[in-house]
Amino acid sequence: DVLVCSTGVIGQQINIGAIEAGMARLCEGISKDGNVSAREAIMTTDTKYKEVAVETMIGGKKVTVGTMAKGSGMIHINMGTMLGFITTDCAISPAMLQAALSESVERTYNCVSVDGDTSTNDTLIALANGLAGNKMISSKNADWKAFVEALDAVNTEMAKKIAGDGEGATHLIECNVCGAKNDEVARNLAKSIISSSLVKAAFFGKDANWGRILCAMGYSGELFTQSGTSVFFDSGAGEIEVFHKGVPLDFDEPKAKEILGETEVRIRVELEDGKGKGTAWGCDLTYDYVKINGDYRT
């Protein structure tokens, strides 16, 4: 079977002749190290290749889950212009593999936004060959949960790599929401925050503009209690609270700027509405993003 995936300029036809001409050479070059060439061949505006793998024990057998992906622009909730390829040697039925993938995607790839645009093409494929020799997973038992945990690990790391390598990006932004009514509400709030163009622009300027975060939460469609809402920023340079239980704080602006100057920065929103928690990932919006997309075809 051949699974066809593509991205590129919308409406531009693929040169099938070039693909056909290279098929024989590609088949001859298949090897255990072929991932190195593949991870680079699928890159478009990506500046870094994206690849990760984990090992775990399932039913007394070592199981490996690995993935490679591409994606830097037109990345938004529902994956956008992302191509992802997951392989595992786990023995798992097609139905249980699909269930695991669908569940994991909601917590990972569907919680990423680079620019708010989704494209006409995106693909995520999971392949399992069963060579690990574990007992076939055919129900949502303990082994299935262990597999989902491994799948979540690689997908979470890949989601962060995609967000951090957004077109023109200088910051990876992680948003954690806790204390929401439930996990779905928390994820939706986090996704709304990292999808906001104004929040992204603020991070580019190292501006601790908590008002834009509250604004994005407000138009998310989810209910939360403002008087129980607190907002923090943190990174390798420290942590600072800027909004406490519905009240703006007179915080140290230079310290906040230092914290937001790190490559990886985090927003933490604490609510008092329940035990729900969720995470989403994004990046800043920069001049280079406009340059890249302003002359994408020309």
The residues annotated as belonging to the active site are 81
Residue found under tokens 């302003």: 294
Residue linked to tokens 């478009």: 44
Q: Which long-range contacts (CB under 8 A, 24 or more apart) does 66-69 make?
A: 66/35, 66/154, 67/154, 67/155, 67/158, 68/35, 68/38, 68/39, 68/42, 69/42, 69/158, 69/161, 69/162
> 4 and 125 in contact (C-beta within 8 Å)?
no
DSSP H or E segment with residue 175: strand 172-180
User: Residue 144: left if φ>0, alpha if ψ -120 to 50, beta else—which one?
Assistant: alpha
Strand order of the β-sheet with 123-128 is 50-58, 61-70, 83-88, 123-128
